Amino acid sequence: MQSGPMLKKGFGLSVVLLLSLFLGFSPGAVGAETLEIPGTGACEVLLRALAEAFNVNRTDRVMVPPSIGSSGGIRAVIGDQAIMARVAQPLKDQEKAHGLRYLVFSRDLVIFAGGARVMVKNLTQAQLLDIYAGKITDWRELGGGPAPIRVLARQPGDSSLLVIQEHLPEFRNITFPQGVKMPHTDPKMLQLVEKYKYSIAWLTFSALKGTQATIHPLALDGIAPTPENARSGKYQLICDYALVFKETRLNNLARSFIDFIFSKPAQQLMKQYGVIPVDKE
């Protein structure tokens, strides 16, 4: 007599289990943690790839949201809105005063690149300055086919621009001509280089992994922007990628991710993106 109700109860539990599996739930997912790492767009493509590799076979997740800039990520950590941020520029003194740790995990190349139809392969520093000052306006003046140069730049304070200004000081005094497009993030810059086939822009070497479009890295004074030339010191436009956090707010997931990005598998993945891994300090 009791077999009917027991059967119905068992059937109900089976339906709940099947529904939970269909909807993507599992007992192991209950209480799973998520770590979001906001910040710069410079290493967004790279860090997202590292997060995806870390997340394999785990119920807790590391997420890399769209760029809010290095400063935005740092503000989020200072205000305890984020446990960790990704940055591509050093901490300022007023930021250090909040007890932040700055942990470099890799180095990337800042490169100048041309759109798909740009045939020029090399530019001198003087030519770059003239392009961004509006003095050279056609690729024909640089040995390429006749086509207007679509100039793309970034706003003052951009991490890659700071690297350029450090090694090419003349860039500090350039006034960009009218019509220059200035996207606010590296992913947006990448989209514009893809869109404008005769464009020139600066971005990070690892960002090129985020597109299937044809984009041509440009040699600078005859030195190609390659990891090999960066390691040897020949190519000097290099930026550091770092994680910023308060040591006291790190949870187990954050600590596990830090351990992962300094592991050999993670460093091998970074090399595939053309960046130079850094050993943990």
User: What pLDDT does residue 105 have?
Assistant: 97
Lowest mean pLDDT among 19-23, 191-195, 214-218: 19-23
Whether residue 222 has pLDDT greater than 70: yes
Report the relative pairing of strands 219-220 and 122-123 from DSSP bridges: parallel
Whether residue 106 has pLDDT greater than 90: yes
Q: Where does the chain hold its CATH 3.40.190.10 domain(s)?
A: 33-107+239-277, 109-232
The mean per-residue pLDDT over the stretch 52-77 comes to 95
Does the pTM surpass 0.75? The reply is yes
Report the relative pairing of strands 238-245 and 84-87 from DSSP bridges: antiparallel
Question: CA 249 to CA 265: how far, in whole Å?
Answer: 26
Instruction: Report pLDDT digits (tens) over 130-151.
Output: 999 999 999 999 999 999 999 9
User: How confident is residue 178, by pLDDT bands cut at 50, 70 and 90?
Assistant: confident
Under CATH, which number does the domain 33-107+239-277 receive? 3.40.190.10
User: What pLDDT does residue 31 have?
Assistant: 58
Whether residue 15 has pLDDT greater than 60: no
Whether residue 226 has pLDDT greater than 80: yes
User: How confident is residue 238, by pLDDT bands cut at 50, 70 and 90?
Assistant: very high
Whether residue 10 has pLDDT greater than 80: no
Question: CA 180 to CA 183: how far, in whole Å?
Answer: 10
Under CATH, which number does the domain 109-232 receive? 3.40.190.10
Contact call for residues 136 and 127 (beta carbons, < 8 A): yes
Contact call for residues 276 and 231 (beta carbons, < 8 A): yes
The mean per-residue pLDDT over the stretch 106-117 comes to 96
User: How confident is residue 1, by pLDDT bands cut at 50, 70 and 90?
Assistant: very low
Whether residue 54 has pLDDT greater than 50: yes
Distances (CA, A) of 117 to 56, 111, 130, 145: 39, 18, 20, 9
